[in-house]
Structure 1
Amino acid sequence: MKSVITKYKILIVVFLGLLSASCNKKLDVKPQDTISPDQIKTEADVTALLLGTYDDLQYYDGFGQNYQLISDLIANENDISFVGTYADYRRAANRTLDRTSTVAEGIWLNGYRAINKANIVLSKLDVVSADNKDAVSGEAKFIRAVFYYELSGFYGKPYSDGNLTTNLTVPLVLDAVVNTGEIDKAYVARATVQDMHTQIVKDLQDAIAGLPADNGTRANKYAAYAFLSRVYLAEGKYAEAATAANAVIASGVYSLTSSFAGAFNNASNSSEDIFGIQQSEQSNTGSSNFGIITMFDSNTNGDRGDVQVDANQPTIYEAGDDRGSFYYDGKSISGITGLYTYKYSTRYKVVPVVRLAEMYLTRGEANLRSGAQVGDATPLEDITTVRDRAKAPSLSAVTGDDFVTERYRELAFEGDKFWTKKRLKLDIGTLAYDNDKLILPIPERERDVNTKLTQNNGY
């Protein structure tokens, strides 16, 4: 049994990481992880805390690395090879994680740290001006929805598995926890898939209603539409998925970069980045820290190079396709030579999370599967838009399988295959899409302090 001291530390890490003292300059609105909830008295304080949630999005246990990497390791089918020395990443690649996994713990802790910040922001809207309240609320709900969507996919069976009212995801905590006396608010049982998806959709719809069209590099209403299209696609609600993706495309705010290479390694968002993680020298991208660049970039460039492209992966591309040559030779920090993707080859650049190319593929596939026509392009025209940019050969007709393969080509190493396989009930290697090995264990340390948490089968 955990000691009282250890239990207290766990609560601090998960829910009260905001409580250490900070210099609260009212007019200097900066991202905050360390503002005490009882100091949140002004709109500037709320904004500072809201900006602090982007640190969690950017962190290596978020979109800074593990949301993409762990997804790809679990869904791996001769796509990548983990050649590093980190045992837990190797276990993820072998689908042999256990309930004490540091990867499973880290993703869980980071997610709930961000969710609690968002919940605190939502609990403090009374100090936000009427002009800004909808936008602040919308941004907090967007962030909460994104984290819940990722967590539910990692720790629960997919929506496509059915059994929506019995299959479990993660605890759905909507109340702010600001001190140890309120910790019971967080000690709840795991939510069902249905309840979780209902909340995620509601949060994203609220975000669309409240967020502005232009919010700098932060989330805007089109980022919320883009994530909503992912949720609807996962639910098999194709008309709704096409409508959400079309809202992004038809906005005219985004355009594909002129070349496939132009979509990556940019100092700021490219023309097709609907939502991206802004990186800097302080953003876990250096060789001494975890980070997606550290893992995917060759040691010849000073990084670890722990993740290599499998030699078979480039064979999925057709002759002339620029994406099929978007690789280079390098080596890992331990001297293992191999192939690396250019997608994450330069430090301190934007890490794309949702790109316009995905929206074309989503709208086209969703229209094809629904038999409807949302937007001004046919499914063949949508897939052609993406393929033309890559200089891939022209297609005369298109099927659902073509869209799946195109997602594998366009969105390789961006974490998409995990979600695509599960939503379409496609085997991953020799495992069925809903095999127990394809979800993470509920961290044992969480079950030690919250006895309402049940463990996933197989752990």
Structure 2
Amino acid sequence: MRKIINIAIVSLVSFLSLQCSDERFDVLPNDQDSPSNIFTSESNFRVVMDGTYDAFKSPTYYNGDTGSSIILGDVLADNLILNTQGRQTNKSAYEWSYTPQTSAVTALYTSAYKVISRANNILVNINKVPYTDYMKNIEGEAKAVRAIAHFDLVRAYAKIPTQSSDASSSLGIAYVTAFDPEIKPARDASVTVTYDKIIADLQDALAKINTSNSTVGRLNKTSVLGILSRVYLYKGEYDKAVQYGEQCIAASSSVGTNTNFVNIWRDATDDGELFTILNSNLGSDNVTVGVAYNQNSSGIRPEYNVNYDLFTKYGTSDIRKEAYILTANFGSTPYNNVIKYRSRAGSSAAQVVDVKFLRAAEVYLNVAEAYMKSSAPDQARALALLNTLRMQRYTSYTPGTETGTALLNAVYNERRLELAFENDRFWTIKRLGQSVVRSDYGSAANGGGTDVPAGALKTLPAGNFRFVLPIPQDAINLNPNLVQNPGY
């Protein structure tokens, strides 16, 4: 599996401090080859751990224009529409015409295992120095990262436990815990086995990781609690999603205030962020995470635009409309453009912003949904959580009073509006066992245009085999122990 776990062991790079106006951007990239004696001190382990976080910015995880997770969960679903004036990136994903050779949906596979290999490199060498509280925290961070990357893999390349009656017993993914380029692991016997391994890593991380790790660019106890709420929601263990989500909310309650919300997406505040993939202003970093959506070329040249059906769901009093969307011309035609990743305040570097991997707003939504589905439903608490979020998104908001099905649908609706363009939509549709149904609008700002989805581009029926993405063929060629997903 040499190519799948292509390990570039991270280096010390430099311990010299850089002069920068904002400490958060002083994080050096840590993705170079390392000396053989790197695992000799606690400070060296910290550099390697930060290099593991850097791997999330590798091409095709949260970087690049084809196959990047920054767009994958939305382009597969109903939040976006392909603009034919763009470069046609990720077109096979948008058309649901992907194969095991298509980088638009297979790219995550290799990128996630790269993250996993770096985490495993730390874990297999953890005994090289005394096991102090410092190293206990490093181990916790590495196990949490390993779990996160495996979770991203299993929700893409296997079924989600809640999507169908046979999902839990269907084939899982290869859960890799060894640092060995020659390893050829088989896939787990079931999705349940994979989820149990993810949870075991997260629970171990929760016990060992620091309460605070000095920056939103490093995982800590609060962010691990939030990730657990996400994983348990997907697994359908709603009582556990409530348990860990409520602990997360108690530790970090702000969903991002209305006055701060636009600035969250301009990297001018961390309000409501629980785990962020930092993207420094260094010349050797500057990862253009937003290029999958659009580029600056005589205005905004869109690859994909906001589906007009979604656009109309953002009311005029919704601060997310200003934060997420900009209506601007390309040529003579106005389009509704995604600007979540367009620019950082005070920087001229286009598409270079931090990736908000986990925000408290998602945890509120996770817990609200889980309360509605738990063994002891608590509609009052679900409504209170939903209203807390809505109070910070709408001007002069009057608290909602929904109950029952209307309340659950309100949670789903708010989830779509809040987490649009954050790699959530397709996976939510998938875990709910629903169909993707695209609107009849074109890409223009008013929903006009000739590029209206039709036929095979209009609906992906619930249960269709394409909800489970194909394992890359080159991975199977290198590792015959892997089994391709049905239908490919």
Q: Does 1:421 align with 2:422?
A: no
What residue number does 1:309 align with?
306
What residue number does 1:7 align with?
none
Taking only the aligned residue pairs, the percentage that are identical comes to 26
RMSD: 3.1
Equivalent of residue 17 in structure 1, options 1, 4, 8: 8
Report the CA distance shift for 1:162/1:117 in structure 2 as closer, same or farther (over 3 A).
Answer: farther
Report the CA distance shift for 1:114/1:252 in structure 2 as closer, same or farther (over 3 A).
Answer: closer
Amino acid at match of 1:55: D
The Cα of 1:444 is off from its aligned counterpart by 1.0
The Cα of 1:274 is off from its aligned counterpart by 0.6
More helix by share: 1
Are the counterparts in 2 of residues 256 and 271 from structure 1 also a CA contact under 8 Å?
A: yes
Residue 172 of structure 2 aligns to a residue whose secondary structure is strand
Amino acid at match of 1:186: K
Equivalent of residue 188 in structure 1, options 164, 168, 186: 186
| 133-142 vs 189-198, which moves further | 189-198
| 416-425 vs 230-239, which moves further | 416-425
Determine the C-alpha separation between the residues in 1 that align with 2:226 and 2:12. Answer: 36
1:340-364 per-position Cα deviation (integer Å, ceiling 9, x unaligned): 1332231433221211111222222
Determine the C-alpha separation between the residues in 1 that align with 2:2 and 2:83. Answer: 33
Q: Does 1:280 align with 2:271?
A: no
The Cα of 1:222 is off from its aligned counterpart by 1.2
Report the CA distance shift for 1:450/1:149 in structure 2 as closer, same or farther (over 3 A).
Answer: same
Determine the C-alpha separation between the residues in 1 that align with 2:119 and 2:424. Answer: 25
What residue number does 1:140 align with?
142
**Aligned runs of 1:257-268 on 2, under 5 Å?**
257-259=257-259, 261-262=261-262, 264-267=264-267
Equivalent of residue 446 in structure 1, options 475, 478, 485: 475
**Aligned runs of 1:296-445 on 2, under 5 Å?**
296-297=293-294, 299=296, 305-318=302-315, 320-324=317-321, 326=323, 327-331=325-329, 337-346=334-343, 347-370=351-374, 372=376, 378-391=381-394, 394-398=399-403, 399-429=407-437, 430-445=459-474
Q: How many residues align?
A: 437
1:188-238 per-position Cα deviation (integer Å, ceiling 9, x unaligned): 345521111011001111111111121123111111111111111111111
Question: Structure 1: where are the runs of 5+ without partners?
Answer: 1-9
Determine the C-alpha separation between the residues in 2 that align with 1:164 and 1:51. Answer: 35
What residue number does 1:131 align with?
133
Amino acid at match of 1:457: P
What residue number does 1:212 align with?
210
What residue number does 1:197 align with?
195
Amino acid at match of 1:120: N
Determine the C-alpha separation between the residues in 2 that align with 1:155 and 1:89. Answer: 17
Amino acid at match of 2:44: D
What residue number does 2:38 align with?
40
The Cα of 1:446 is off from its aligned counterpart by 0.8
Q: Tell me the TM-score normalized by structure 1.
A: 0.85
Residue 392 of structure 2 aligns to a residue whose secondary structure is helix
1:371-418 per-position Cα deviation (integer Å, ceiling 9, x unaligned): 63789x711111111111111554222421111111011111112212
Residue 114 of structure 2 aligns to a residue whose secondary structure is helix
Determine the C-alpha separation between the residues in 2 that align with 1:56 and 1:331. Answer: 35
Determine the C-alpha separation between the residues in 1 that align with 2:310 and 2:284. Answer: 27
The Cα of 1:458 is off from its aligned counterpart by 2.1
What residue number does 1:6 align with?
none
Q: Tell me the TM-score normalized by structure 2.
A: 0.80
| 201-210 vs 77-86, which moves further | 77-86
Determine the C-alpha separation between the residues in 2 that align with 1:306 and 1:344. Answer: 13
Amino acid at match of 1:244: Y
What residue number does 2:24 align with?
none
Report the CA distance shift for 1:335/1:344 in structure 2 as closer, same or farther (over 3 A).
Answer: farther
Are the counterparts in 1 of residues 327 and 334 from structure 2 also a CA contact under 8 Å?
A: yes
Determine the C-alpha separation between the residues in 1 that align with 2:59 and 2:306. Answer: 20
Residue 101 of structure 2 aligns to a residue whose secondary structure is coil
